[in-house]
Amino acid sequence: MKNHGRQSIMSMFFCKIDEKPFAVLYSDAGRPNFPVNILLSLEFIKQFLNFSDDELIDNFYFNYLVNYAVGIRVLGELNLAERTIYEFRDRIYKYTLAHPDEDDLIFDQFIKLIKGFADTTGISMKEQRMDSTMFMSNIKKAGRLSLAFDVLIKAVKSIPEGSLPKQLEETLKPDFKTNILFKTKASETESTLDHILNLCQEAKNTLENISTPQAEEAFRIVSRFINEQAELDKNTNKLKARNSKDITASSLQSAYDEDATFRNKNGKSQSGYVANITETCDKSNPVQLITDYAVAPNTKSDVDFIKERLPVIKENTNCEKVIVDGGYYCENPTGDVKDVEVNFTDMTGRCPSDKIPATDFEFDEKNEIIITCPNGIKPLHAGNKNGQSVAHFPKDACEHCELRDRCPAKQQKKSCVVRFSSKTINTAIQRNKINANRKENVSSRAGIEGPILR
């Protein structure tokens, strides 16, 4: 019964898939040899039911519920080869790389389907929550020497046998790997790394004159690796390894995954990516829907994510409120997006001192001008200039005030002056909002941990 309900949902999705945008994948090759809406539906089913590709193929041929979900009423009506699925994925991947500024074909279908499902079920998208998580690239975690070896071998294997220099032929022998990775002493690591870097340079020079796709990819990777990891020793005219402190977090982390980056977050180091997920969180919803996703190198901050994704989320779902943790905090998270309230469960940075905060003063909020102090004293004159709210208070009133020890006012010759920057005022207001609504916001945001951890 449970699977039957899932297949009913999938059949609802199938009817809403628009094949027209995928025509760009086949513009040079004519029509696809298999319906795109079925291929895309099968990708959803694979993820929804946690199938392997083999299980997906088996269920396509022998599971009537899967066939029903993709519009087929007779088992065996269509033949599907694994190659057809792989080529479809490959076309989408290559098109995305070649057209980074064009609409994302899969994301556009995702939004269309989510909207249809929300309309059918009456799920509210007005209130949403957002969170991010780092995840590892499918690569071995290795040190600089191991990475240098992988880059070198990838480059060497891309050189045709007839063009391979004799010195590089030695790198393909089994004992070369053993000596480099397993027999190098700690005291020899630096000199060994220098040796590998110079072999990489020789491989790069050889690859420069080879025009095969494999050689071009290897040339790009080895060139990047050398630029990031090495510098020229003017005395020997050979490459030597840079100081590890000079290697950036966006440097190459794997010879087989160019996009993975390095990041240290909350004391944990990781090479890979970061995923940002947004979902509905209205308590009246029977279930919650993921409404937005984005993946980037893990050097991308939460602040960049909210500024980039909030306009997209607003346009696609017309949300009115987004709840996030303190990692997303910035002065103006909504930017030019109107009618969206961003609620934080916490803030980054230090908590304010024991001085009276800006929010204890009464402000003309529109102009950010101080009207009265926490003790009800009106300033002699006040204004806002160059992003600072400045108020001059009567000196005699301040000298006898019971709040004097905690007041940020500074005594001058004729008055006591209070100065708050616009940033300080906005930060103080935000802290008050967080404290006032902490329990509700933390409760609403906590649910996003489910999709993040799965």
Q: Are 428 and 357 in contact (CB under 8 A)?
A: yes
Pick from 366, 447, 380: which is nearest to 418 by CA?
Answer: 380
Q: What single letter denotes the amino acid at residue 169?
A: E
Q: How far apart are the C-alpha atoms of 411 and 359, rounded to whole Å?
A: 21
The one-character DSSP state at 50 is T
Q: How far is CA 36 from CA 21, 82, 277, 453, in A?
A: 10, 15, 26, 31
Closest CA to 401 of 356, 363, 353: 356
Structure tokens at 59: 């269920």
Per-residue pLDDT of the chain (454 residues; tens, 9 = 90+): 355 555 555 556 788 888 899 988 887 666 778 999 999 999 988 888 888 888 999 999 999 999 988 888 888 889 998 889 988 988 888 888 788 888 889 999 999 989 988 988 899 999 999 999 887 655 444 578 888 999 999 999 999 988 898 889 889 988 998 888 878 877 888 899 999 999 999 999 999 989 888 899 999 999 999 999 999 998 999 999 998 778 887 888 877 777 776 666 666 666 678 899 999 999 899 989 999 999 888 788 899 999 999 999 999 999 999 999 888 888 788 888 989 998 888 665 555 557 788 878 888 877 788 989 999 999 999 998 888 889 999 998 898 898 888 898 998 988 999 998 887 777 776 776 666 666 565 555 555 555 554 5
Query: What's the confidence (pLDDT) of residue 189?
Result: 84
How many Cα neighbours within 13 Å face the side chain of 180? Answer: 25
Phi, psi of 213 (to 5 degrees): -55, -40
CA angle 320, 326, 331 (to 5 degrees): 70
For residue 196, which of 214, 210, 182, 176 has the smallest C-alpha distance?
A: 176
At 196, which amino acid appears?
A: I
Burial class, 394, CB count within 10 angstroms (exposed 0-12 / middle 13-18 / buried 19+)? middle
0.85 cut: is pTM over it?
Answer: no
Name the residue among 345, 346, 277 with its Cα closest to residue 305: 277
Longest C-alpha distance within the chain, in Å? Answer: 93
Q: What is the CA radius of gyration of the chain?
A: 30
Coil, strand, or helix at residue 192?
A: helix
> Cβ(272)–Cβ(134) under 8 Å?
yes
pLDDT of residue 211: 87
Per DSSP, the three-state class of 338 is coil
Coil, strand, or helix at residue 234?
coil
**What is residue 140's predicted lDDT score, i.e. its pLDDT?**
47
Which pLDDT value is given to residue 1?
Answer: 39
Question: Using an 8 Å Cβ cutoff, are 394 and 382 in contact?
Answer: no
Question: What CA–CA distance (Å, rounded) separates 70 from 90?
Answer: 21
Residue given tokens 């909002």 in the structure block: 433
Instruction: Report the distance separating Cα 51 and Cα 46, nearest Å.
Output: 5
Rounded to a whole number of angstroms, the distance between the first and last alpha carbons of the chain is 23
Cα–Cα distances in angstroms (integers) from residue 250 to residues 245, 247, 301, in the given order: 13, 8, 13
Question: What are the tokens at 24?
Answer: 């760009």
Q: What six digits make up the tokens of 422?
A: 């616009």
Closest CA to 295 of 272, 309, 275: 275
- What one-letter code names the amino acid at 64? Y
